[in-house]
Amino acid sequence: MEVVAVTHVADEAAPERRAPVQERGRARVEQILDAAESVIAEVGLEAATVHAIAERAGASVGSLYHFFRNKDAIVDGLLDRYLRQTLETMQVSRRLAEPDLPLAALFAGMVDAFLALDETQPAYFAVCRATDTTTGGRADVALELNRQLEDLVVELLLARSPAMPVAEARVHAGVSVPAVHGVLDHLQSLPIAARAPLKAALVEMMVRYFEPIEARYRG
């Protein structure tokens, strides 16, 4: 995310003043990102303009450019936010302190947690799809998200089945993360009323995949 640094006047009181100024700057950045997400969710990434984002944020275009050099920098800021929030959701929903939690309850909770992000990140899929390359590749942030999610799944598998070799855990993470992401992507494009059967099928798919694996190492 390209955030333009604020220049401070050098004097003896600068250290005391810097923290409040930085806090106000961070708050303003979050306001701009909130506005960008709202605009993109309404009109799409291509149609969203810096002027519309500034207006939604209650800021002048000049003020917006003080924090972001251009629209691409704003999108980068949103992607960074999505990466952080998704990883935080995953870390909480794995429930590592409950290694004996039934798989059906574990996966249902994880799916619910990710679906809840759809309400707090309304532009997530619009931004991520649009920033993937036209050749079918993945945006850098999407690749980084996959890598970190796979690491978290490996940690989950080893916490529940300590005897599982790390190499095998990485294989299962490499299969499950893109599979679940693909289904969630499709699921979130459906009307809310149509999601329940697909969500149930996703949970069942994950249970059927991991149940025999856990049984092999826990038996």
pLDDT for position 9: 38
pLDDT for position 120: 78
Give Cα 128 to chain centroid, integer Å: 10
Read off the pLDDT of residues 58-72 as tens digits, 9 standing for 90 and up: 999 999 999 999 998
The answer to whether residue 4 scores a pLDDT higher than 50 is no
The two tokens of residue 19 are 């923290």
pLDDT band at 184 (very low <50, low <70, confident <90, very high): confident
The answer to whether residue 3 scores a pLDDT higher than 70 is no
Contacts of 216 (CB under 8 A, 6+ apart): none
pLDDT for position 166: 97
The two tokens of residue 86 are 């998704």
For residues 35 and 52, give the distance between their C-alpha atoms in angstroms, rounded to a whole number: 9
For residues 47 and 39, give the distance between their C-alpha atoms in angstroms, rounded to a whole number: 9
The two tokens of residue 159 are 């916490």
Cβ(187)–Cβ(115) below 8 Å: yes
The two tokens of residue 92 are 């909480």
Cβ(80)–Cβ(1) below 8 Å: yes
User: Considering only CA atoms, which of 34, 123, 124, 41 is closest in space to residue 86?
Assistant: 124
Q: What is the mean pLDDT of residues 40-68?
A: 92
pLDDT for position 80: 87
The two tokens of residue 9 are 């006047």
Considering the chain, what percentage of its residues have pLDDT values greater than 70?
Answer: 84
Considering the chain, what percentage of its residues have pLDDT values greater than 90?
Answer: 53
Give the chain's mean pLDDT.
84
Read off the pLDDT of residues 100-127 as tens digits, 9 standing for 90 and up: 999 999 999 999 998 888 777 778 777 7
Widest Cα–Cα separation across the chain: 68
φ, ψ for residue 143, nearest 5 deg: -65, -40
For residues 142 and 115, give the distance between their C-alpha atoms in angstroms, rounded to a whole number: 18
